[in-house]
Chain A
Amino acid sequence: SQTIHQWPATLVQPVGSPLSLECTVEGTSNPNLYWYRQAAGRGLQLLFYSVGIGQISSEVPQNLSASRPQDWQFILSSKKLLLSDSGFYLCAWSGGDQETQYFGPGTRLLVL
């Protein structure tokens, strides 16, 4: 069966520091991968999606970036965090042409 992992689970970082969040998927090949952000009490905002290794589409301009170095690995990064980057970051995958998305447990980021 397929599983999706995210780490760390919680992160507290100072403003201006770098960021690296990791998402990995097991049990499926060539998944579509997604990064979403959920601000407190709000819905989900799509940040990035990837249909394959090295293929990244950005949904909103921001100081975040994403990379997909392996088929099963999706990384969310920033060179310098802003206060407004605080939130709950969720990774999701879907299989090939299937549209249903399955979510990881999330990473809670607090920028101070």
Chain B
Amino acid sequence: GEDVEQSLFLSVREGDSSVINCTYTDSSSTYLYWYKQEPGAGLQLLTYIFSNMDMKQDQRLTVLLNKKDKHLSLRIADTQTGDSAIYFCAESLRDTGRRALTFGSGTRLQVQP
């Protein structure tokens, strides 16, 4: 079945690295995504990784994928106060024909100055 889980809350100090974790259950996932939601706003696509990759880096963001453990992580280097938001992990399952994403419940990142 489809189930994506994330921890609810993470607090870090400005300048530190943040690591947000996600686990998923369906091994047929094709793409895995990270979205950012600021208060009162829609979801902003941050990055995504194809399931045959194990790492992707994009400026301050590093995504690690462990397919064996079905574990996805997002590392934000040099975390800034502007990074405070809710971060959603999502998986895409091509085989279902549904063409929709299954989202985790989101991790609220709080960056303390």
A residues lining the B interface (CB < 8 Å) = 6, 32, 34, 42-44, 46, 49, 51, 57, 59, 90, 92, 94, 99-106, 108
List residues of B (79-113) whose CB comes within 8 Å of A's CBs. Answer: 88, 92, 94, 98-101, 103-106
A57: chain B residues at CB < 8 Å are: 98
Contact status of A44 and B40, CB under 8 A, knowing A99-B30, A99-B94? no
Interface centre among A6, A90, A99, A102 (most CB of B within 10 A): A99
Judge whether B104 and A106 touch: CB under 8 Å: no
7 contacts between A and B (CB under 8 A): A32-B99, A44-B88, A49-B100, A57-B98, A99-B99, A101-B45, A104-B42
Judge whether B88 and A43 touch: CB under 8 Å: yes
**A44 CA / B86 CA spacing, docked (Å):** 12
**A51 CA / B98 CA spacing, docked (Å):** 10
Judge whether A51 and B41 touch: CB under 8 Å: no
Judge whether A43 and B106 touch: CB under 8 Å: yes
Give the number of residue pairs across the A-B interface with Cβ within 8 Å.
50
B residues lining the A interface (CB < 8 Å) = 30-31, 33, 35, 40-45, 48, 88, 92, 94, 98-101, 103-106
A102: chain B residues at CB < 8 Å are: 45
**A43 CA / B31 CA spacing, docked (Å):** 19
Judge whether A100 and B99 touch: CB under 8 Å: no
> Closest 10 CB pairs between A and B?
A43-B105, A103-B42, A103-B43, A99-B92, A44-B103, A105-B42, A106-B42, A43-B103, A46-B100, A99-B31
Contact status of A34 and B100, CB under 8 A, knowing A42-B105, A43-B106, A100-B31? yes
CB within 8 A of B101: which of A51, A101, A106, A108? A101
Contact status of A100 and B45, CB under 8 A, knowing A42-B105, A43-B104? yes
